[in-house]
Amino acid sequence: MSRRRRSGAFEAHGGRGGSHDGGGELRWLLTYADMITLLLAFFIMLYSMSILNIGKFNQLALSVRSGFGGPLEGAGASLTYGGMANKVEIAPLQVAVENLAVLVDRQVHDLHLERAVSVRRERNAVVISLYADALRFPVGQATLSEACRRALHRIGRVLAAQPASIRVEGHTCNIPIQTALFLSNWELSAARAGAVARYLVEQVGIAPSRVIAVAYGDTRPRYPNDSETHRRLNRRVDLVVVPRIGPPDLHWDLTEVRRAFDAAGQSRGQADGEETTDETESPW
């Protein structure tokens, strides 16, 4: 009789056969299990989303870069989203192109040259277009104006600090030219491309091995030559900048390699010791 009473008392106080509410000391396990279940469902939902918006990812990367005040480091690692079948790799070259375009855009904005200089991103390069009319190239000449020199100096300083090759392309509209200096648009575009390349090398200090000048004449217009507005936009000099990723190749100037080694040695030794422009009428 006493054993039955003790057994009933034990069961009433949460022993074997007790109710679910009687286990007050184990109630936190139910909350914990519910939370784990919700988290599992959340991550399964994320895993099932296999489409990655590259544009939004680049915007996020740029915001992080600007927030920390420097370029992205360690870029180029593979980003897996939605399983191995949907693996997306963010190429280091794409990140370098995006960072360079942002830096050049900032210089153009600071100089208020949005109407004279445009910056666009291509697959593996940044194309900086210098419009001849807006930068006041003399009519039918290749002399650099003061506005063009100022723009080249600011943009060139950004390019000089980047490991990149620069192709300077001269372009004209389709209106033919024949003067004592230039017999055709080929000569005019070549002279303007050469003047810009020479300024980048001699005045900005970019290594000559990184710069090449090319003349296209009127063979590669950006717009149809069907209006004066389009012809103005076709009269331009393009800087096609291709960032270099990885170790230097054989085309690098030896002086740049020596400077890099000298700078590394000095830092190691210290550690051990311790404007708006107006458009002008120009037919080319």
Q: What is the pLDDT of residues 13-43, one digit of tens each?
A: 444 444 455 556 677 888 888 888 888 888 8
Residue 250: what pLDDT? 41
Q: How confident is the model at residue 226 (pLDDT cuts 50, 70, 90)?
A: very high
Question: What digits encode the pLDDT tens for the residues 179-211?
Answer: 888 989 999 999 999 999 999 999 999 999 999
Residue 198: what pLDDT? 95
Residue 53: what pLDDT? 56
Half-sphere CA count of 38, side-chain side, radius 13 A: 6
Query: Is residue 155 scored above 80 in pLDDT?
Result: yes
Q: Is the pTM of this model over 0.95?
A: no
Residue 169: what pLDDT? 96
Residue 222: what pLDDT? 92
Residue 251: what pLDDT? 42
Residue 280: what pLDDT? 38
CA 86 to CA 283: how far, in whole Å?
52
pLDDT exceeding 90 applies to what percent of the chain?
Answer: 34
Residue 66: what pLDDT? 54
Instruction: Report whether 168 contacts 237 (CB < 8 A).
Output: yes
pLDDT exceeding 70 applies to what percent of the chain?
Answer: 62
Residue 223: what pLDDT? 93
Structure tokens at 55: 């544009």
Of residues 231 and 72, the one with the higher pLDDT is: 231
For domain 92-273, say whether CATH 3.30.1330.60 is its number. Answer: yes
Question: What digits encode the pLDDT tens for the residues 90-107?
Answer: 578 888 888 899 999 999
Query: Is residue 79 scored above 90 in pLDDT?
Result: no
Q: How confident is the model at residue 261 (pLDDT cuts 50, 70, 90)?
A: very low
84, exposed or middle or buried, with CB in 10 Å at 0-12, 13-18, 19+?
exposed
CATH 3.30.1330.60 spans which residues of the chain? 92-273
Tally the residues of the chain.
284
Supply the mean pLDDT for the chain: 74
Residue 230: what pLDDT? 92
Worst-scoring range by mean pLDDT, 61-65, 123-127, 145-149? 61-65
User: What CA–CA distances, in Å, run from 142 to 145, 182, 273?
Assistant: 9, 10, 52
CA 150 to CA 113: how far, in whole Å?
10
Q: How confident is the model at residue 142 (pLDDT cuts 50, 70, 90)?
A: confident
Residue 82: what pLDDT? 41
